[in-house]
Structure 1
Amino acid sequence: MSRTHASPVLPDLRGRTALVTGASSGVGVEIARGLAAAGAALVLPVRDRVKGERAAQRIRASVPDPAVDLRELDLARLSSVRALADALRAERAPLDLLVLNAGIVLLGDPERHVSEDGFELHFQTNFLAHFALTTALLPLLRDRRARVVFQLSLAAGVSEIRWNDLQSARRYTPLRAYGASKVALGLFACELARRSAAEGGGVTVALSHPGVVPDTGMAPALRERRAGGSSHALAQRLGHTPAQAAQTALLAAVAAVPAAPSGPNVAPPFFGPSGLLHFGGAAARQRPYRRIVDRADGARIWDVAEQLLAAHADAPAD
């Protein structure tokens, strides 16, 4: 099966500013490159400044005179999230698009890792820190009637949240923790769309997933273990390159989105690859995962995140 397919045509984004998390490599830098090629100014918060500079150089090599503003952000440190949000709010930075692309998946590593803030690492990096960043930036996003794009995963379609073990402390496997963190992110996305609609709009939401992307830095231990196996060969044949995988988030960034989705469990538009098993193929609209659209669960994950962040903020410093 060919891995070549048409890319969505983006409108002119000159005068718009896009913040993309996780844009120092992989799918994220390709999302950023696509937005810059359409004329958007970029804010790229990165954990590793050297990798960030390298990504900016790659974008500049293919896009004439892009506006690229590198910032610091480590999603595994909530103090870093707060510092970025505080700086952008103080500057009243224009934000027209927020793409929550960054994430980790520690498949192949059986050890449960905890951030310096005390949260399971998948839970914090993929969900909680993005919740903290987005909610802190809501005043800026509302000012520009911005779009927020949530990058989910195929794992969110087959995973679930165990509310009595939200951070996989009782029973940990990396795939379970990763999948649950992406379900939590999807629930947050749908709840943000509902709340924004109830408040009269101001922010629109779209969801995406990249399919399978064998050629990224994700899950190196698993990839090393399974190289040459049948599942690896299938992913290589049906999956995406990073540039192809970026197309679903780019489509989510510019597609028409209703300002006020109706119905108790209606989700924002969801875009993913249209090929076999949704591993690869042209970006297209898809049915959202059943687990992320429940209104009660969406409200619950929002409340849990607020409580966890409040408790962390009130905790005495070491």
Structure 2
Amino acid sequence: MSNRDNWAAVDVPDQTGRVAVITGSNTGIGYHTAAALAKHGARVVLAVRDVAKGEAAAKRITKACPQADVAVQELDLSSLASVRAAASALKITHPRIDLLINNAGVMYTPKQTTVDGFELQFGTNHLGHFALTGLLLPHMARRAGSRVVTVSSMAHRIMAAIHFDDLQWESGYNRIAAYGQSKLANLMFTYELQRRLAAKRKSTIAVAAHPGTANTELTRYLPPFLRPADRLLTPLVVQSAAMGALPTLRAATDPEVTGGQYFGPSGIGEQRGHPKLVEASKQAHDVELQQRLWTVSEELTGITFPV
């Protein structure tokens, strides 16, 4: 595909008739992704944990773009019961789903567990999205050109590994390494999902993106020793959430995108800039690890995929 260096929100093609479900879309990158898709004609569903914040975000979008079609769906990715309930509601309310954007996430949280006993970052960022995708995928397979876009991070390279011997960090906890594990899992999930979709000759594709270094609420749990560097570097390398949303938007809408591609900013170190094709770590492409993670994820969530 053309890897032009100035792709922007204005390049999003007409999305009229398409339904996009975006997790964690009441703020930050998810919000700007939702606003851009709505502006270009998509029916957008803000799948969020806090419904009141979701409704406020929907109002901001429709105020800026009165013709926007925006709905809100309650979804707590840290609860498999909530994921199942949200998926059921989405399938009833929306006869078709064209885009599922797995955007929501938590970063560098103190040691916590989900309702189901999973380490919070792994449970929310990976397992919650794994389960949601598995539940919605049959609904998406009916739609030609449907896409699952999962948002990863440059952190998939930092202290990152899939700790199969202790996925839930029960024998020790490092919040940075745990976040890296969850973001590496996002990429491994994308690649394994794409391989399975292609094997079944499905029209749905799986694509990944990362926002670079963007100004969002994710940094609220930044470890104290990193905060001075964050304050120093923010004016130099951090881009707006709207710019951070561009790799996701390109992965979701560019007609030249193919399954298994990965998009990130074009600038130095992929920290900022317009979106382009980027490369994941060698570890992320390890097929044996991808398949092992898939099997474990099915066991932990109780969700099996139709591929």
Give the alignment's TM-score, normalised by structure 2: 0.90
Superposition map of 1:133-148 within 5 A: 133-145=132-144, 146-148=146-148
Structure-2 separation of matches of 1:64 and 1:184:
38
Out of 282, 285, 292, the position equivalent to 1:293 is 285
Aligned counterpart, 1:187 = 188
Larger mean CA deviation between 56-65 and 182-191 belongs to 56-65
Structure-1 separation of matches of 2:222 and 2:294:
32
Structure-1 separation of matches of 2:223 and 2:234:
11
Q: Is the 8 A contact 2:189 2:294 kept in 1?
A: yes
SS in 2 for 1:148: strand
| Residues 172, 95 of structure 1: alpha-carbon distance in 2 compared, 3 angstrom cutoff | same
Q: Which amino acid aligns with 1:131?
A: F
Q: Is the 8 A contact 1:18 1:42 kept in 2?
A: yes
Structure-2 separation of matches of 1:87 and 1:81:
10
What is the Cα deviation at residue 138 of structure 1?
A: 1.0
| Residues 233, 93 of structure 1: alpha-carbon distance in 2 compared, 3 angstrom cutoff | farther
Deviation sequence 1:74-111 (CA, Å, 0-9, x none)? 1111111000112223445310111000000135x3xx
Aligned counterpart, 2:249 = 250
Aligned counterpart, 1:130 = 129
Q: Is the 8 A contact 2:107 2:221 kept in 1?
A: no
Superposition map of 1:1-318 within 5 A: 7-8=8-9, 9-91=11-93, 93-107=95-109, 109=110, 112-145=111-144, 146-158=146-158, 159-213=160-214, 215-222=215-222, 226-227=226-227, 229-255=228-254, 256-258=256-258, 268-310=260-302
What is the Cα deviation at residue 232 of structure 1?
A: 3.0
| Residues 166, 226 of structure 1: alpha-carbon distance in 2 compared, 3 angstrom cutoff | closer
Deviation sequence 1:256-293 (CA, Å, 0-9, x none)? 2336xxxxxxxx11110111221111111112222222
Q: Which amino acid aligns with 1:26?
A: G
Q: Is the 8 A contact 1:157 1:290 kept in 2?
A: no
| Residues 216, 257 of structure 1: alpha-carbon distance in 2 compared, 3 angstrom cutoff | closer
SS in 1 for 2:291: helix
Q: Which amino acid aligns with 2:48?
A: V
What is the Cα deviation at residue 224 of structure 1?
A: 7.0
SS in 2 for 1:207: strand
Structure-2 separation of matches of 1:250 and 1:12:
12
Give the alignment's TM-score, normalised by structure 1: 0.87
Structure-2 separation of matches of 1:157 and 1:235:
20
Q: Which amino acid aligns with 2:152?
A: L
SS in 1 for 2:36: helix
What is the Cα deviation at residue 222 of structure 1?
A: 2.3
Q: Which amino acid aligns with 2:177?
A: R
| Residues 124, 66 of structure 1: alpha-carbon distance in 2 compared, 3 angstrom cutoff | same
Deviation sequence 1:118-152 (CA, Å, 0-9, x none)? 11100110000100000011111101131011100
Deviating 4+ runs (over 4 angstroms): 223-227
**Aligned residue pairs, count:** 294
Over aligned residue pairs, what C-alpha RMSD do you find? Answer: 1.8
Q: Which amino acid aligns with 2:163?
A: R
Q: Which amino acid aligns with 2:79?
A: R
Q: Is the 8 A contact 1:92 1:140 kept in 2?
A: no
Larger mean CA deviation between 155-164 and 244-253 belongs to 155-164
Structure-2 separation of matches of 1:186 and 1:75:
18
**Structure 2 unaligned residues grouped into runs of 5+:** 1-5
Q: Percent identity?
A: 38
Larger mean CA deviation between 40-49 and 165-174 belongs to 165-174
**Structure 1 unaligned residues grouped into runs of 5+:** 260-267, 312-318
| Residues 39, 91 of structure 1: alpha-carbon distance in 2 compared, 3 angstrom cutoff | closer
Larger mean CA deviation between 240-249 and 158-167 belongs to 158-167
SS in 2 for 1:165: coil
SS in 2 for 1:143: coil
What is the Cα deviation at residue 155 of structure 1?
A: 0.4
What is the Cα deviation at residue 64 of structure 1?
A: 2.7
| Residues 29, 170 of structure 1: alpha-carbon distance in 2 compared, 3 angstrom cutoff | same
| Residues 282, 257 of structure 1: alpha-carbon distance in 2 compared, 3 angstrom cutoff | closer
Structure-1 separation of matches of 2:46 and 2:298:
25
| Residues 224, 294 of structure 1: alpha-carbon distance in 2 compared, 3 angstrom cutoff | closer
Q: Is the 8 A contact 1:141 1:202 kept in 2?
A: no
